[in-house]
A and B are shown apart, each in its own frame.
Chain A
Amino acid sequence: MPTGLDRLQHIVVLMMENRSFDHMLGSLAAVNPQIDGITSQLSNPDTTGAQIKPQPLADFQGQLDPDPDHHFPAVDLQIFGGNTSANRAPNMQGFVKSYFNQQRDVKHSQKIMYYFPKEKLPVLTTLALEFAVFNRWFSSIPGPTICNRAFAHYGTSFGRVDLNPIYLNEPFKSIYTRLTTATPKRTAKVYYYDTTSSTMEVANLLQNQPELFGTYEQFLSDCENGELPDYSFIEPNYSDHETDGGEEIANDQHPDHHVQAGELFIATVYNGIKQNPALWASTALLITYDEHGGIYDHVPPPSCTPDQFTASANSTGTGSEFKFDRLGVRVPSILISPWIPKGTVVNRVFDHASIPATVTKFFLGDYSPRSPRETSADIFVEPKSGAVDPERNLLSLTTMRTDCPDFDV
């Protein structure tokens, strides 16, 4: 049993908002050619037919206004470039056209192709270069936030592709319920930023199991006191708001919230874990994004095992039904642990169903019932039981690293 895996006791997931892989990490292709990022061959046609290349001109705020459309029909256009035929293949040629639809401004629509130079995102890019970056982590469906987050909690969105709430009495339990009702009992928590930001998982968990929730302040305290649960899911701050303690700026990086606020948040999550040496040695932190936010990425999402649900033609808004047999657009995802070799690049395909799949397998072993999408999803941490495939195990170092970065926040 590899030492890093043997010592692993906690899995933490931080899910940010609405940014694509190329937009945030595309610049790293120039630093590490193994990272599938921006190259000079990439482009998208605008509505005049001109080929618009990605450019390192992304701004922290004020540029992607209006918020790029990331609902199912718009993402369909972005992925398939407007091709609606039965046997179409994704070509990732519809991003500029899609953004044009919102303001009818040719110049403005081209900004959807902008990406951040490495220097503007010191936290995310450092973590991607220092730990394990996933070249093929996709959002679970080509659609908006709520459904994608549902895959992270339940392994499915129960047939939804829109922003409607997930209802009660669905056939598959959340990862939190599975863990807290297991024998022996495991522990899990959803840490939302504060009660004013609250959680996006409202319909089921907050209404029925509020004891599962804590605040970000509690997360930091739990890290310090060594009381982190087996599994933690962290939500960023979704709004600019005032509290008794002062102003709280939104740090989810959802356009048009300031991207640097999100960088700061990611750094404090990382620091919170790292500052407790015992916790640092026994925790794997996954940073990911719920979906691409309508922003350009060049990698076509692959097809996948269909879920047992189908979204009707009415609900997709495209005139065709959707069997959840294709993933959404690629998002930045990084796995952090002092047992991961520097510069690890992972090319296996993952999506957010991999989160409950991994956590379930690691803490509970075999479990059913689970959705077809979850049971077929790859896992990013190998289970401790059974033989460990060295090709798959990312926590592969025999000695813990002492050269991991520190962030001054």
Chain B
Amino acid sequence: MAVIHVPRPPKQAMNPQRPVSALLKTQIEHLQQAELRLPVKYQTSIYVNAIRTEREASEYISAVTEAIHRAHAEAATKRRKMPPKRKRVLEIAAAAERKRPRKRKSISKKKRVAKKKGHSKQKSRGKK
């Protein structure tokens, strides 16, 4: 089978200054709605109403598309770092058990003895 040559378009066929078509305007509108759902840190500072040419359209489209991918990628990374819920509950319980032993309040020996005796008196009262 013969190989069929495919001509390339001429260089002047390319025109990024071409006015945006209705289709590109629609794509921009859709992407703007998607952009407004992104957290602020991912949003662009491009004013879509000022977009007139295919070059300007492509800059906006690229920025929002990449922002959407970035937002999802960062959320996925954060999700991978967070342990699952059951594991977190066990960790909290284990941490509670490992709680440092209660420190004795520093009271004087005299008071410690008095306290002990008081405790003994109560016991003996009960026995009578």
B4, A126: Cβ atoms closer than 8 Å: yes
**Residue of A198, A203, A213 with most partner-chain B CB within 10 A:** A198
Whole-angstrom distance between the Cβ of A30 and the nearest chain B Cβ: 19
> Do residues B65 and A195 form an inter-chain contact, with CB atoms below 8 A?
yes
Residues of chain B in range 7-56 having any CB-CB distance to chain A below 8 Å: 7-10, 13-16, 18, 21-24, 26-27, 29-31, 33-34, 37, 54-55
Measured CB to CB, the closest approach of chain B to A400, in angstroms, equals 14
* Contact, CB under 8 Å: B27 / A238: yes
Which stretch from B66-74, B77-85, B115-123 is at the chain A interface?
B66-74
Q: Is B3 an interface residue (CB 8 A)?
A: yes
A211 CA / B71 CA spacing, docked (Å): 12
Is the beta-carbon distance between B68 and A207 smaller than 8 angstroms?
yes
B5 at the interface (CB under 8 A from A): yes
| A122 CB within 8 Å of chain B | yes
Give which listed residue, B6, B9, B23, B24, contacts A409 with CB less than 8 A: B6
Residues of A within 8 Å of B10, CB to CB, are 258
CA gap between A107 and B44 in the complex, in Å? 45
Bound-state CA distance A263–B31 (Å) is 28
Q: Mark A96-114, 1 if CB is under 8 A from B, else 0.
A: 0000000000000000000
A239 beta carbon closer than 8 Å to chain B: yes
Please give, as numbers and ranges, the residues of chain A lying within 8 Å of B55 by CB-CB distance. Answer: 240-242
Nearest CB of A to B64, in Å? 8
Q: What distance in Å separates the Cβ of A165 from its nearest Cβ neighbour in chain B?
A: 5
A261, B10: Cα distance in complex, Å? 9
**A407-B6 CB under 8 A given contacts A247-B14, A249-B14:** yes
Nearest chain B residue, comparing its CB with the CB of A267: B6
Give Cα A304 to B68, complex, Å: 38
Question: What mask results when residues 260 to 279 of chain A are scored 1 for a CB within 8 Å of chain B, else 0?
Answer: 11011001000000000000
Are B4 and A196 in touch, CB under 8 angstroms?
no
Interface residues of A in 315-360 (CB under 8 A from B): none
Chain A residues at the B interface, C-beta cutoff of 8 Å: 17, 60-61, 67, 122-123, 126, 144-146, 163, 165, 195-200, 202-203, 206-207, 210-211, 213, 238-242, 247, 249-250, 254, 256, 258, 260-261, 263-264, 267, 403-409
- 9 pairs of residues in contact across A and B, judged by CB atoms under 8 Å: A122-B6, A123-B4, A126-B4, A240-B54, A241-B16, A241-B58, A249-B13, A258-B10, A261-B13
